[in-house]
Chains A and B, each alone.
Chain A
Amino acid sequence: MSAALRVFAAEGLKQHRRIFGSKLVVFSMLLWPVLTLATTYYTVLPVTSAPGAAQRWPLVAEPGRLLAFLAAGALAYTFFFSLVQSAWHFSFERVSGTLEAMFLTPASRMALVLANGSSALVQNAWLFGCFGIAAALATGSLHLAHPGMLAVAALALLVPAVAWGAFLNSLLMFSRDSAFLYTLLDDPLWFVAGVRLPLFALPVWVKAIGLAFPLTTSLTVLRGALLDGRDTGELAGHLAFLAGLSAVLLGLTAVLLRVGERHAQRTGSLQLF
């Protein structure tokens, strides 16, 4: 356990030195999501202000609530996508030659991928997280059943995000074309997860694919808890599904790490890129 904690501390320090204090994070973690949010809002505006749109989706009657709905999507997407980015950065260890060194150490592989994901999440997402909370408070769009739901929402966002990050890290660590996965998980991720549209607007098969991504359910919980005043009882089904999905992702991570390392030992591919 203490060995795993040391891995967490070391990864945290590495991410802190690499990311924190870098002005670049302001771009990727605040400017891009805010500009993308504005673009999305304007793109759906002609449709949400179409005659009769409010009967199909009551939310659009109030532009403030529509914006809050999209902003919650942007917030959750930023969290999950920051893990795609962190996993992508992790694959750079291959290029800089440190990936092999990492596998020579006796550090727990699982601790490595978990530590990388969670510390990247903290370093990357705090900015947009604070921005989101400030914006929600300033506009008065928060609608909570009770203050405890804030914690539930935070956990429903963070726990699956870390599991998702660990899974991606293990996937990208052994892939030589990490750019492909990065591309594949950028746009399709927001599309299937209902980041920019309510889930009812998506066809059934897209919704089915979306369920495999923890972001989809995380977002349902986040919107339900923060914007619609739902309590844990009403969200219990989603929360249970989310817990199950996180466990499955962690299980897959363990398998991938074992299979990937064995394959790398046989082929010596950890230095190739």
Chain B
Amino acid sequence: MSTEEALKSQFPQAGLVFSQFRDNHRIGVPAAQLMDILTFLKNVHHFDMLAELTAVDYLEYEGSKDRFGVVYVLVNTQSGERLVLKTHVNDPDPVLPSVYPLWKAADWLEREVFDMFGISFSGHPDLRRILSPDEFTAFPLRKDYPLKGRGERHNFPVLTRSDG
């Protein structure tokens, strides 16, 4: 039984959206069902590797209804099968369950999404900023943040030759 059929029979009410583009098999998952489906895929269908976890800000995307999309790429290391799962979250309080209990790889990947997009993951053991400085307040990869920043990059004292 293929993964798609198994998911359909296991979660008939979930409203999963299956699609394919090139070689990517994609599943649109509602955020409420996310954890159940990921647990099912990992434990029953051996998707034992989380290859990628990222987010997209759809603020300026034509025809999009939701603000953020969060993408999970799973790999079954035995059969080599790949799945791309996508779920959506919205302002003002974008929260998703953390998948750290399933895959440890999610630790830093979720921290990066939190740092760059401000999406928090409930149940993550150590959700702090990772790439930006701790005192940074904006979320740089959101579409409303300008490419050249708001002046944070030059907020330092100037040293002259006579110092030190």
- Co-complex (A, B): no
